[in-house]
Structure 1
Amino acid sequence: MPTQYHVFLVTLDVVAKNHHIVGQLEDRQLTTDSNAAATVTSLEQALDGHIVTTLQLIPVSSSSSPVWVLRVAVPILDRANAPIGAITATQAIDDDFALSLVQKTGFNVILCQGAHILGSSMRESSLNQFLSGNDLCTTDKVNVIDGPQHFLALAKTAQTTNQLMSSPSLVIVDVEPLYVVNAHTGRYVQMLLASGIFVFALGVITYTIITRIFFIRPLRSIQTRVRSMVADTRNAGIEAQSPTTDELSMLARLFNLLSESLSLQESESLAMTKQMSDLLIHQR
């Protein structure tokens, strides 16, 4: 089964109940002191059936400074859940350890002990050039880091439930980038253009719907009524022209036909009125 984390161990020991080392893997560059108080205490508690974690400072074989490591002791239980031994593992607190902590989250963290920066998941950024380790690793203090990119940092003390009481604590600094306008002008322009295209398309669709509801449909209704009225004026001897695809031109022609029809009706009414007037005059 493939592992999801890459663990770089300094030591891995399998210890029996009588403190005899059954198996051991060790990095030759780093040497652990098996007689150190924290090492002995964590091993004793693991052999008693407890999981123990502790933070220790171990020397390096070369001339470089000592290295902080995280030591974990886990008991080995038999079928009756009785401890018969222990497994102890030691991992260096460095950049690889910081990356393993945030591998699945994508966060940026810096690991500190005291005022010393031990590791960071941001290998490409040297934040301590713009802010001292003493300020960066101070807990419950918000720091703004101004550099090529701006960051917001907040440090908190991290402790495990199984941590040894005498063990020092690790400080984890959460680092969040601050997005400024100059660094993301191109993205903002793209968002602005996309918003403009969306608003334009929405306006065209709204204009089309409003035109169809408030103009085209009423015009078609008027057109139908005018056609029916013109059809009732067959006695005027005026034939309607064939319909065309131009609705406005057709409507104009239909209005003209209606006007002519009304004019003829008015002329006929005047003629009938005149005839009746003449008949009345002759009767007198």
Structure 2
Amino acid sequence: MFSLRKTLILLYIFSSFDLYAQATGSMLRDELPLWEAGLGVVGGSIPDYPAAGHSTFHTVPIPTFVYRGKRVRADEDGGLRARFYKTDSWEFDLSLGGSLPANSDENAERKGMPDLDTMVEIGPTFIWKIIKPTKASPHKLILSVPLRVAISTDLKHWNTRGLTFNPVLVYMRERVFLPTMTFIASIDTRFASDTMMDYFYSVSSNFVTSARPAFEAKPGYMGTSVALGMSYLLKNKYSFFTGVYHSNHYGASNEDSPLFVRRNNTALAAGVVWWFLESDRKGVQ
């Protein structure tokens, strides 16, 4: 039976596409290896931050690894996480998220301000498997509700950036057009604490210019996003994938910030993964 493998798990490195890592597991294969290893490359145009006026193109070649242990997981149903409790329909985990850095000198609105560092997010996540697939009906619907602490880092310094709350509803359908092609759609909404909003939208007095007045960010609503993706598995070893992620920030808490430029952002990504090694031992569902 066809296994999707981890074709979109690489998109997890882009914050705009982390929803794919939360719901891209094999739907119909009964048993999966305990671990699988591969090499991949992902390229994508990603907004520097929510409502930014500039996007950065990232190309990231990285090794990939999936692990399906009883407690520790790095898989398609939720990225890297530790299971605290699990039933057939839901689980409670400790999970990770994150986003890539941005160079402020390449962003007109942030020019002269500090760069945005890589962001790492960690915290509890509730996952509800609303619709589970069967061989007769390859549909999957998952609600993921994470509450995470955000930490920015340049690997020399680590700074806490507050909390994020980002519920995501993901639908997946295998065998679309071709036996090894999968369609993914999702909708999510995002809220953040004052510290996180301050990192993206505040302008302190020492960074004020004629075009960039001082601004103090406030907590609350950040935006709502819709995503669509397609994945294709070739010869059970090569995964090709692409996705588009559109965010609407109308009504966001910090629309008045001079760093809030666009009410609509679009991110695009595509990539390929070669899965070349897997264990004989089977993983835990």
- The answer to whether the superposition gives a TM-score over 0.5 is no
Higher helix share: 1
The interval holding the TM-score normalised by the smaller chain is under 0.3
Q: TM-score, normalised by structure 2?
A: 0.23
Answer with 1 or 2: which has the greater Rg: 1
Structure with greater contact order relative to length (CA < 8 Å, sep ≥ 6): 2
